[in-house]
Amino acid sequence: MLLAIDVGNTQTVIGLYDLEPDDAHNVEKRLADTHLLDHWRVSTNAERTADEHALVIQEFLGFHGFSFDDDIAGVALCSSVPRVTGALRRMSERYFGMQAVVVEPGIRTGLPILYDNPKEVGADRIADAVAAFDLYGGPIIVVDFGTATTFEAISARGEYLGGAIFPGIDISLDALFARAAALRRVELVEPRRAIGRSTTESMQSGIIFGYTSLVDGMVRRIEDELGEKAHVVSTGGLSGLITPLSSTITHHEPWLTLHGLRLIYEKNQ
């Protein structure tokens, strides 16, 4: 089995994949993520050592009857936190006796990157793009709701064209609460109306409907530059909240990055 690990600035997502070969013609099977056996989400902690990472993963595997020592045949990793990247490399070498496949310059992705400096593109953004193009073809736009909200544009020929980055929902809220003493944290749920009739409703409207409008407006701008309509796929921790309200998002794939890691792992064997 394959451990696919997506390390974000705030959270780390771990997926366990069966390495049985895909049926390349069975799109529904791939879309259903039938090979994703289980997944876990933990807080990203740059202070954890390689041994501590191994302990966390061992516990998750043991909960579901998988063997830490016998069942893992590979590790694929993308990371936004260099200290965690190093610790997970050491964990893979010490506990699994293998080098992790890390999404970084020089790795084979099958995705031409047309950024001015391809080394600047985040590893998670590359994994998202690889997965989205595999599942839906192009042109396609990926919206990833993480610590930052990112947009990726992939052409009909499978080229990574670039995208946009702006502060994520949680970061925006943290800034608001830090600067506005009279405002307090609110539950992130869909508001009943756009015109809030209390401070809580007004904040929920601004956060949820405001971010949805931002996403839809940005997608339309990107499509104008592409010169054609595109598939639009959402992913990331808060994507399930925004996706049902969006008029432009056509697909929701919570584990898109993990799927991309699995594909990149297979391309490098």
pLDDT digits (tens, 9 = 90+) for 100-154: 999 999 899 999 999 999 999 999 999 999 999 999 998 999 999 988 999 999 9
Segments making up each domain of the chain, as ranges: 2-102, 130-252
φ/ψ region of 35 (left if φ > 0, alpha if ψ in -120 to 50, else beta) reads alpha
- What pLDDT, on a 0 to 100 scale, did the predictor assign at position 20? 64
Measuring CA to CA, how many Å separate 87 from each of 45, 79, 90, 91, 93? 11, 11, 5, 6, 10
Q: Supply 230's token pair.
A: 């595109």
Mean pLDDT of the chain: 90
Question: Does 24 have pLDDT greater than 60?
Answer: no
Supply the CATH classification number for the domain 130-252.
3.30.420.40
pTM of the model: 0.89
Task: Report d(CA 197, CA 190) in Å as an integer.
Answer: 14
CA angle (161, 257, 27) in 5-degree steps: 90
Question: Does 71 have pLDDT greater than 70?
Answer: yes
Identify whether the C-beta of residue 107 lies closer than 8 Å to the C-beta of residue 269.
Answer: no
Task: Quote the DSSP letter at residue 113.
Answer: B
Q: Which residue has the higher pLDDT, 1 or 140?
A: 140
Length of the chain: 269
Domain 2-102 matches domain 130-252 at the CATH topology level? yes
Residues assigned a catalytic role: 124
Task: Quote the DSSP letter at residue 119.
Answer: G
- 165-202 pLDDT tens trace: 999 988 888 888 888 877 778 878 888 899 988 888 99
Per-residue pLDDT band at 208 (split at 50, 70, 90): very high
Supply the CATH classification number for the domain 2-102.
3.30.420.40
| Sign, CA torsion 126/82/253/231 | negative
Q: Find out whether the peptide bond into 139 is cis, omega within 30 degrees of 0.
A: yes
Question: Does 43 have pLDDT greater than 50?
Answer: yes
- What pLDDT, on a 0 to 100 scale, did the predictor assign at position 21? 52
- What pLDDT, on a 0 to 100 scale, did the predictor assign at position 29? 46
